[in-house]
Amino acid sequence: MSEPEIKIRMRDVTKRFGAKVILDNFNLDVRASESLVVIGGSGVGKSVMLKCILGILTPESGSITVDGIEVANAGSAEHEAVNAKVGMLFQGAALFDSMTIAENVAFSVTARKPVSAKIAREIALMKLSMVGLKRSVADLYPSELSGGMKKRAGLARAIAADPEILFFDEPTTGLDPLMGDIINDLIVHCVEQTGATALTITHDMHSARKIADRIAMIYQGKIVWIGDTAEIDSAANPLVDQFIHGRTDGPIQMAVRR
């Protein structure tokens, strides 16, 4: 079998905030057209990892390439080239609160494609219905939506321009189980139908099993385990074992006092 094509390659990436090392010689390969899910405890640096790829944060050292373009410590031209291919759902949705929901989603379309405002709105309404948001929501402002609705609107904005790379930061957090499953199906659909590459962060193991081709786990600034979704239950890694079963005793040290 030939080597799978690598879409995103992170090599020896180190990111610190002050003295605190978040990513420590971090390595990760995301294959083209795969759905990779990254799991890991709260605050281990999952969101930081995505922001380094997007150029929102600059790592101190290491190399990050997207389709062969180096983005770590690159200029704005490289970031623009990469960002044009990426759709990102932020953990806090990050909707523009000066625009309505439909305008938010349409913005993502018009920023990238030469389409009229009318067509962009049609696309926006279609994407909103794909994430289960009713038409009546389209003309509300983000402040008028619930947390889960904002999340879904953010998701619609991320997929609106049919990007080839999708980053989802906790897409199902804050959703009820039924809606969560609709979103899981949507992510699977995006990857299978459009051939997009998806990198998803989640704590939700049910969701991870459903959408992932492969799962990777971050702990103390590194990937400690990566493998096919089917292998995760038989992973002979105590960190993974503790995490997916949600046990408090084990090698993962929780910084709480009892």
Partner 1 sequence: MNPFQPIGRLAFAFLGTLGRIVVFTGLALSHIIRPPFYFRIIGRHMLEIGYYSLPVVGLTAIFAGMVIALQSFTGFARFNAEGAIANVVALSITRELAPVLTGLMVSGRIGAAIAAEIGTMRVTEQVDALTTLSTNPFKYLVAPRILAGMTMLPLLVFVADIIGILGGYIVGVYQLDFNPANYLQNTYDFISALDIVSGLVKASVFGFIVTLMGCYHGYYSKGGAQGVGQATTNAVVSASILILLFNYILTGIFFAANV
> Any idea of the CA torsion for 35, 212, 11, 32, to the nearest 10 degrees?
-20
* Residue 33 interaction partner, one of Mg ion, ligand ATP, partner 1, none, beta carbon < 5-8 Å per kind: none
Which one of the spans 95-103, 193-201, 223-231, 248-256 is the region binding partner 1 (CB under 8 A)? 95-103
For residues 56 and 74, which CB has a smaller minimum distance to ligand ATP in the complex?
56
Residue 47 is encoded by which pair of tokens? 């969101």
Nearest of 79, 94, 87 to residue 108 by alpha carbon: 87
Shortest reach from residue 128's CB to Mg ion, in Å: 24
Question: Helices 117-130 and 101-110, interaxial angle, to 10°?
Answer: 120
Helix/strand/coil for 217: strand
Which of 8, 35, 47, 198: binder of ligand ATP (CB under 6 A)? 47
Residue 100 is encoded by which pair of tokens? 């309505």
83 binds partner 1 (CB under 8 A): yes
Which one of the spans 29-37, 44-52, 61-69, 74-82 is the region binding Mg ion (CB under 5 A)? 44-52
Residue 67 is encoded by which pair of tokens? 């389709």
Residue 144 is encoded by which pair of tokens? 């008028």
Q: Which residue has the tokens 């096919």?
A: 228
What radius of gyration, in Å, describes the C-alpha atoms of the chain?
18
Per-position x/- string for 171-210, each x denoting binding to Mg ion as judged by CB under 5 A, each - no binding: ----------------------------------------
Nearest of 87, 135, 129, 90 to residue 107 by alpha carbon: 87
Contacts of partner 1 in 102-131 (CB under 8 A):
107-108, 111-112
For residues 89 and 102, which CB has a smaller minimum distance to ligand ATP in the complex?
89
91 binds Mg ion (CB under 5 A): yes
Residue 187 is encoded by which pair of tokens? 């992510």
Question: Residues 200, 172: contact at Cβ < 8 Å?
Answer: no
Which of 10, 26, 34, 47: binder of Mg ion (CB under 5 A)? 47
Secondary element (H or E) of residue 126? helix 117-130
Which one of the spans 38-46, 95-103, 130-138, 247-255 is the region binding ligand ATP (CB under 6 A)? 38-46
Which one of the spans 5-13, 35-43, 92-100, 248-256 is the region binding ligand ATP (CB under 6 A)? 35-43
Residues in contact with partner 1 by CB under 8 A are 51, 54-56, 76, 79-80, 83-84, 86-88, 90, 92, 94-98, 107-108, 111-112, 157
Residues in contact with ligand ATP by CB under 6 A are 17, 22, 40, 42-48, 91
